[in-house]
Amino acid sequence: MKHLLNALEASLAASPVGVAVELPDGVRLGDANADLRLRLRDRMAVVALAMGEIGSVGAAIVEGRVALEGSMRQLMAAAAALLKSDPAQGEHAGWWQRVLLRARSMAAHTLAHDARNIEFHYDLSDDFYALWLDPRRVYSCAYYRSPGMMLAQAQEAKLDHICRKLMLRPGERFLDIGAGWGGLLLWAAEHYGVDATDITLSRNQHAHVQRLIEERGLQGRVRMLLLDYRALQVEQPFDKVASVGMFEHVGRAQMERYFATVRGLLRPGGLVLNHGITAGGLDNAGLGAGLGEFIERYIFPGGELLHVSVALHDMARAELEMVDTENLRPHYARTLWAWSDGLETRLEEARRVLVAQHGADRGEKALRAYRLYLAGCALAFERGWVALHQILATRPDDRMDAAGPMKGARSDYPFNRAYMYGDAAATAAP
């Protein structure tokens, strides 16, 4: 244990912020006057901290085996210094591990399992999410088109960025896979005049969006369905499809089927935009340093990340042609810090909401987990351990007119990005 304590003291000394650590036997390490304080109540927490297993330390905080005092920003600065390796480069899987991971992924992503996983996260409490999300409750990476944008403006800019990329036009049939609280669905319907359909597995979100549709008088051309993407059957394919924050829940083993399903829902020549979190490492099975296990246990059970190259491979297997890819990683770091800071300013309200809905024990654990999750993910995006890619693709159509300057395009995409950024100040300007 002595060499572990020596290593821990060295890591604490290298931290850019002061950290005071109290061991189970009362021994104190680090900066006695620091604002950031950790009181460790068992030996396993000591080992995890000394080894740089920051995800395991986070689990100990959630379970009450480590008491925390200090801000989330201070904690994340210290956590980065405690790491012994790059979490995005750890947990590399050999061929036999990949076989096991694929089998586990297949078993974990049945319709029933996915429904339970979505309920676990998104149905925690609408009132809780409303405390720290923007007024539209957009629960995905914002787009800070202008540096001075606030969160709500950046979320509207993101919604418009997606609609612009998809070249939405009045009367087009538009599908949004994974509704959230209806931000993209309603933005597309009200600003671009599309006939819009959304699907979700969250009962809370389904009920919320149904109310918004009725309040805004959008019945008839906007609809919200409670079902799995694999169960959606349509007589006529959609002109445009968006999937935002959804494919992280699909699973590695189901990814080819997922993109093939999307292709089947899209008309030939149409456009699909897939907006999702991607892995920072090329071939790691998950984030190292205990981070992957923390997220699986407390936040997103069943979530799996792929490197963007793998996503593009599976998309190509489904005969979807990638025409544009954009990495919004820094935007998500800023988004997550905005969420984290927002939650930190309303901790007592959040505690009351969660305790009232789930009881004292689960409510307190959920609050501790989300504080660590939001700040930890902000750090992960800052450091490049994970990324966020918007992939725009087409379902090629050889029957489309091959004459004129766009001969051979085989889709609606003009093969020129200028259309995405024209009149950039028109919508959601700061």
| Separation between Cα atoms, residue 80 and residue 334, nearest integer Å | 17
Those residues whose C-beta lies under 8 Å from the C-beta of residue 407, and which sit 6 or more positions away, are none
Q: What are phi and psi of 269, to 5 degrees?
A: 90, -10
Per-residue three-class SS string for 344-400: HCCHHHHHHHHHHHHCHHHHHHHHHHHHHHHHHHHHHHHHCCEEEEEEEEECCCCCC
Those residues whose C-beta lies under 8 Å from the C-beta of residue 343, and which sit 6 or more positions away, are 131, 132, 350, 370, 371, 374
Other CB atoms closer than 10 Å to residue 308's CB: what's the count? 18
332 secondary structure, DSSP code: H
Determine whether 163 is an active site residue: no
Contact 143, 228 (CB under 8 A): no
| Separation between Cα atoms, residue 377 and residue 72, nearest integer Å | 11
Distance of CA 50 to the CA centre of its chain: 29
34, 149, 271, 377: the active-site residue: 377
Those residues whose C-beta lies under 8 Å from the C-beta of residue 348, and which sit 6 or more positions away, are none
Those residues whose C-beta lies under 8 Å from the C-beta of residue 239, and which sit 6 or more positions away, are 169, 172, 173, 174, 267, 270
Q: Which two tokens stand for residue 86?
A: 């790059």
Phi-psi region at 29: left, alpha or beta (left = phi > 0; alpha = psi -120 to 50): beta
| Separation between Cα atoms, residue 204 and residue 310, nearest integer Å | 32
Catalytic sites, residue numbers? 377
